[in-house]
A and B are shown apart, each in its own frame.
Chain A
Amino acid sequence: MTTIMVVDDHPMWRDGVGRDLTEHGFEVVATADSVAAAANRAAATKPDVVLMDMHLPDGNGAQATVAVLEHSPATRILVLSASSEREDVLEAVKAGASGYLVKSASQAELVEAVTATAEGQAIFTPGLAGLVLGEYRRMATVPTGDGPDLPKLTDRETEVLRFVAKGLSAKQVGTRLGVSHRTVENHVQSSLRKLQLSNRVELARYAMEHGLD
């Protein structure tokens, strides 16, 4: 059975979401209301999936994502974002979260997303595609200097992401490009992997520039 941890500082939301997931055959093994609690409980319970709120009393979802992955690297993280916290969501994704949903998503969408996340898929909503595209564009304008090069998207990957951002499903994108939907999903996954890689490159560069080891 897929084990879940719900991280949110609102008890009502935790209970509501937890009940929904339990009804659909998931096992909620822990809840947490802060970054610190999320890290501790992730270490103790090693959940398969964490549903992560962006707004926590002692930090944001991006910090909590880092903390959880440090204590339980195999856990997959799905961010639930309540309002426009795009930069935080992007930070969480770069730190290793595998997708995000807005909180107004329906129960069916939530269950589907948790199932897909547990299977190792990225939850590539149009919103996430827009964020990822924007981030690659931003990185392209940053001078690289002496440091290691930041990863770039291939033209095909950019094309695929733009379709996803415009609301086309993997299947529809595949039809347009004359490739299989698997190929489309691979492009999407690789754009996310590169972004997480870019995060490590940026961190390493930051460490070098600031003389940290």
Chain B
Amino acid sequence: MSTATLQRDSSGLLPLWRAAQVFRLASLIYAGAVQWTVVEHYVRPLLSWAVFALMLIWSGIAAMLLAFGYRRRRQVVAAEVVVTLLLMASTLMVGGKNNYFDRHQTVPTTFWAANAVVSVAILLGPWWGLACAGLVGLSALAICNQLDNIGFDATLPILLTVGLAVGMGAQIVRRAREQIDRAIRLEAAASERERLAREVHDSTLQVLALVRRRGAEIGGPTAELARLAAEQEDALRKLLSRQAGVEAPVPVPVPVQRDLRSRLEEVLPTQVSLAAPGQPIVLPEQMTDEIVAVVCAAIDNTAKHAGADARSYVLLEDDGEEIVVAVRDDGAGFDPSRLAEAAAEGRMGVSKSIRGRVTDLGGTVDLFTAPGEGTEWEVHIPSTGAEQR
């Protein structure tokens, strides 16, 4: 859908072109009123009516071509500048009684002549708009013999302002449109990449999971195959969950938010059981990182001390007011008084990495352990307070 829009009007300037044609109509009405009022001052009134008729015809043609997305805008606009200059020059032939034109504007009024400046500015931007304003304005002054009055006459400043303002407006629209196009393309590319990744990886994960399972069952040398498949499956799964979190590189709002659940999924080894809600738990990035670090410290501790067969379980809960993370292993456990001893001896490993971090987040830590009973850390962290940090 978006590509169809892009093809029809890639610049996004169509509304501006249409607005310009409303301006053209107003300028035409004004030119008509002026013509009606001052025609008696002309030497050749009939010729002035012919000039006005040509203005009408050209205005109609240009308005139709520019308002309805005609592809050759450049040619139309170039023709518009030439036609405007020629019609203005015809003033010399229309002539005015008692040097009428010395004090007035050309037969095509300055207001009408501004259409050429507007068109050039929309098409080519502020610099060309200024250049065209200079050309039209100076021509008007020259024709009316007002060049010596250049500092006092308002024609040139008005046209220059129109050229600059409309040109800048058009440039802003064009750049905004380019940015939108780029964003649309990025988004389409990202979602397509994600879709492909899902398709491809779903199949690959299936096969790896199958090899892992069958291989482990057959045993012997095939167990090695199963182990390799398991490693690849883990790696791919982590890669996938990371990729799912990647979004198009648009400017990121501050502060950055992260889903704690998918961050833990990425980081934790697959043999660790992660129990979590169905919905993402979105927190400020720094907070997410700290909680992940706490969980990792607890898991590392399990790997070091709990024994080879110990399994780790992580439970993640969010009740809207606080985040509760429990990390439990079913390993050897220990006498909690040993922690105090370790602290007294200056060994602060677990205490520092877990308690310190949680305290910084304004939370609390509970440790449940006993010899033979496994180890369980339960961390409570207020989620509302952290958002203001």
Contacts and interface: CB of A to CB of B under 8 A. Distances in A.
A and B from one complex: yes
Nearest to B214: A16
Contact of B203 (A10, A89, A105, A131): A10
B216 to A, nearest CB: 7
Given A103-B209, A104-B209, A137 B315 contact: no
A165 B315 CA distance: 6
A87 B278 contact: yes
Contacts of A87: 278-279
Contacts of B309: none
Interface stretch (A28-36, A122-130, A198-206): A122-130
Interface stretch (B283-291, B316-324, B381-389): B316-324
Contact of A106 (B202, B216, B313, B330): B216
Interface in B53-102: none
Contacts of A16: 210, 213-214
Nearest to A93: B278
Interface stretch (A78-86, A148-156, A185-193): A78-86
Interface in B253-277: 262, 265, 270, 273-277
A87 B259 CA distance: 14
Interface in A163-212: 165-167
Contact of A131 (B277, B328, B376): B277
Given A103-B206, A103-B209, A167 B279 contact: no
Contacts of B202: 55, 82-83
Max chain B Cβ within 10 angstroms of own Cβ: one of A107, A126, A138, A166: A166
B141 interface: no
B315 A130 contact: yes
A89 B241 CA distance: 17
B275 A126 contact: yes
B205 A137 contact: no
Given A134-B317, A166-B376, A167-B311, A104 B275 contact: no
Max chain A Cβ within 10 angstroms of own Cβ: one of B240, B311, B319: B319
Nearest to A104: B209
B340 to A, nearest CB: 25
Nearest to B318: A137
Contacts of A89: 278
Contacts of B212: 104
A165 B327 CA distance: 10
Interface residues on A, range: 20 to 34
Contact of A137 (B262, B317, B376): B317
Interface string B194-218: 0000000111011101101110110
A166 B275 contact: yes
A131 B216 CA distance: 29
A84 B313 CA distance: 17
B328 A166 contact: yes
B252 to A, nearest CB: 23
A135 B233 CA distance: 29
Contacts of B328: 166-167
B326 interface: yes
A49 interface: no
Contacts of B276: 86, 130-131, 134
B301 to A, nearest CB: 16
Max chain B Cβ within 10 angstroms of own Cβ: one of A86, A106, A131, A165: A165
B273 A104 contact: no
A126 B273 contact: yes
Interface in A75-123: 82-84, 86-87, 89-90, 103-107
Contacts of A125: 273
Max chain A Cβ within 10 angstroms of own Cβ: one of B207, B279, B315, B318: B315
Given A12-B206, A167-B330, 17 more contacts: A13-B206, A83-B240, A89-B278, A90-B278, A104-B209, A104-B212, A104-B213, A130-B277, A130-B316, A131-B278, A134-B279, A137-B318, A138-B277, A165-B315, A166-B275, A166-B328, A166-B376
Interface of B: 201-203, 205-207, 209-210, 212-214, 216-217, 230, 233, 237, 240-241, 262, 265, 270, 273-279, 311, 313, 315-320, 326, 328, 330, 376
23 contacts: A10-B203, A12-B210, A13-B209, A16-B210, A16-B214, A82-B205, A83-B205, A86-B276, A104-B213, A104-B230, A107-B214, A125-B273, A126-B275, A126-B315, A130-B274, A133-B275, A134-B279, A135-B278, A138-B279, A162-B315, A165-B326, A166-B326, A166-B376
Interface of A: 10, 12-13, 16, 55, 82-84, 86-87, 89-90, 103-107, 125-127, 129-131, 133-135, 137-138, 140-141, 162, 165-167
